[in-house]
Structure 1
C-alpha cells in the first residue's frame, strides 16, 4: 500500500475518555493497542496561528513643517519688530545727541513701552491658558460622563470648583458640592450635581446677556437707515457678547484669546448648522412673517436679532466648562422668542 492510498475508515463507536483501552498519541506516533482499543490523535487547532509574525516598529511621525503662510507672517513680524527696535534706538540716540535730558526721557518711555508690552504678552498668555483649561475640563467631563468614571468625575469637579474659587457669587454652590463630595459614588451623578449647583446661575446670566444683545440688535437694525450701520452693529454686539459670555464662565479672553474663542464659535456654528434650523430659528422667522410684510426693516431687525442669539448660544456652548448633562441646552426660541413682544405673557 502506497502512502497516497486512502486509509481504511473505521465505523463510529462510542467510548469513555477514562476507559483504559483509550490511548492518547501524538500525530506522528504509532501506538499498538489491544483488540477493540481506541487511539486518540491530537490535531492542531485550525485557528491557532503558527509562528507569531514579527511586529514591525511603528513609523516615527514625520515632523510637521510650518506652512508658507506661517513662515511669511513669522518673518514679517520679526522684520517689523527689528525695524521698530532700530527706529526706537535711533530716536533715543538722536535725543541724547541733542540733550541728555531728552535722551533719558525717551529712554524711560522706551523702557515703559517694553514693560507694558511684556505685561500684555503675559496677560494674553494667561487668557489663552484659561481658555485651554476650560476646553480640557469640558472634554474630560464629557468622557467621564460617558464612561461613568467616578475618579475622573471627581477630578473634573474639583478642577471646576478650583476654577471658580475666586468668585464670591459661587461660594454657596461650592459649599454644596463640598458637602456631597464623599456621599456620591457614580461619576455621572457627581457631574450632574456640579452642573446643577455651579452652572445654573451662570447659565441664567449668560442667557440674559444673549437675550439683551439680541433685542438691542433687533431694535437698532430695524430703525437704522443704512445697511452698513446694520453690519457694524451686528459685528460689535457679537464681539461684545462673545467676550461677555467668556467672562461669565471664567475665560476672560484677551485679544488673542478672543480670536481663538471666535474661531471656536464659528466652528461650532458650522458644525451645528449655522442658521439653527433644528432649534427653531426658521420657525421664529416664519412666525414674524407678518412683521416682515408690514415692514421690511422690522423683519430684517428680527432676523439680525435671532442670528445674534445664535452666535451667543454657540459661545455659551464653547465657553461652558461642563457640557449639558442634566438639562437641555437653551434654544433660540427660549432666549429670543419674545423679540418685539409688548404685552407680558401669562
Structure 2
C-alpha cells in the first residue's frame, strides 16, 4: 500500500477521510483527505520456454505428394493392363494374376499398418521423454504421476519388471515432489534396461571388431558394420518399448546419427582416437587389427547414440554410459615404461 509521500502521517482505516483508489491516477480526492492506492503485485514467474516450430516447405510436401500419387497410378495401371493381357491369353491366367494382385494389396496393407504402429510407438517414446523433461523442470506432481502410470503401462507386458513396476506405483502415491518421482521411476525402470542395453552394445562392438579384423575385403566390413548397426538399433528400440518397423528404423538411425554429431563424433568426450592409436598401440598391432578396433568403437558410439534416441527418460539419476563402459576391452593402454623413469646407474670409478 502507498500513501501520499509528501510527509509521513498516521491514520485509521475506518477514518471517513481515508479514500481508497484502484490506481494512482484515480486517487484525486478533496483537500484534507488521505488517498491510499494499492501497489501492483509482481511475481517472479519463469517465462515459458519458446519452442521453435519446425519449418516445413509446403511446396516440398505438395511435390512429394504429387509424385507419390503419380507413381501409385502408374503401378495400378500397369497391374490392370497386365491382368487384362493375361485374360486375353487365357481365363485361368487372368484369375491367377488377379489373385496374386489381391494378395499383394493385402500384404501391402498389413505392412503399412505395422509401419504405422511402429511409428506411433516411437512417437510415444519421444512424447514420454519430452514430458519427463518438462515435468522435472517444473516439478509438476500431477504430470509426474501421469508419466509414471504411462511408464508402468508401457512395460506391463515385461514379467521381469514386475517388482520395478510395483515400486513405481507405490512411490506415486507417497512422493509429493514430481521431480523426485521421475527420478525414482528412472532408477527402478531404467536401471535394469540400461544394463541390458550396455550388454547389447558391448557384444555388438566385440563382434564387429573381431569380424572386421579377420575379414579380407573392405566391402564385407562395410556391409557387416551396417547390418550390425541396424540390428543393435532394433534391439535397443524393442528393449525400451519402441518395436520399430522399416520406416521407424530409418527414423531412429537418423536420430542416432544426429545425437552422434551433437556429441562430437568419435573423437569427442572420450578421446577415442588418442586412446586407440596413442600410447604406442599402432606400433604394436597390425593395421587390420587397428581397423577392427576402430570399427568396434564406432559401433559402440552409434549404439550409445541410439540408446539416447530410444530411452523414454533422460539421464538424471543414473549415470550416462560412455564408450569405455561398453567397449573398454577394445581400448588398450600402454603401461608406463619403467626404463624411462629409471635413472642410469652411477659409473664406477
Shorter-chain TM-score range: 0.7 to 0.9
8 Å contact kept, 1:243–1:258: yes
- Residue of structure 2 equivalent to 1:247: 238
1:119 is displaced (CA, Å) by 0.8
How big is the alpha-carbon RMSD for the aligned residues of Structure 1 and Structure 2? 3.1
Q: CA deviation at 1:71?
A: 4.2
**2:159 alignment partner in structure 1:** 168
User: 1:226–1:289: structure 2 CA closer, same or farther, 3 Å change rule?
Assistant: farther
Equivalence map 1:95-174=2 (5 Å): 95-174=86-165
List alignment gaps of at least 5 residues for structure 1. 1-11, 32-38, 48-60, 342-346
Asked whether 1:309 is paired with 2:300, we answer yes
- Partner of 2:249 in structure 1? 258
Distance 1:99 1:204, change over 3 A: same
2:22 corresponding residue in structure 1 = none
The one of 210, 220, 232 aligned to 1:219: 210
| Structure with greater Cα Rg | 1
* 1:266-309, Cα deviation, whole Å (9 max, x unpaired): 11111111225213424532456425543112112111111110
Does 2:174 align with 1:183? yes
Matching residue within 277, 280, 283 for 2:268: 277
| Residue correspondence of structure 1 range 284-323 to structure 2 within 5 A | 284-286=275-277, 289-291=280-282, 293-323=284-314
Residue 58 of structure 2 aligns to a residue whose secondary structure is coil
- Cα distance in 2 between the residues matched to 1:138 and 1:231: 33
Alpha-carbon distance change, 288 to 130 in structure 1, aligned in 2, over 3 angstroms: farther
Question: Retained in 2: the 8 A contact 1:292–1:300?
Answer: no
Q: CA deviation at 1:180?
A: 3.0
Deviations 1:204-261 (A, max 9, x none): 1111110011111111222222333322222222111111111111111111111111
User: How many residues were matched structurally?
Assistant: 303
Deviation of 1:327 after TM superposition, in Å, equals 1.1
2:66 matches 1:75: yes
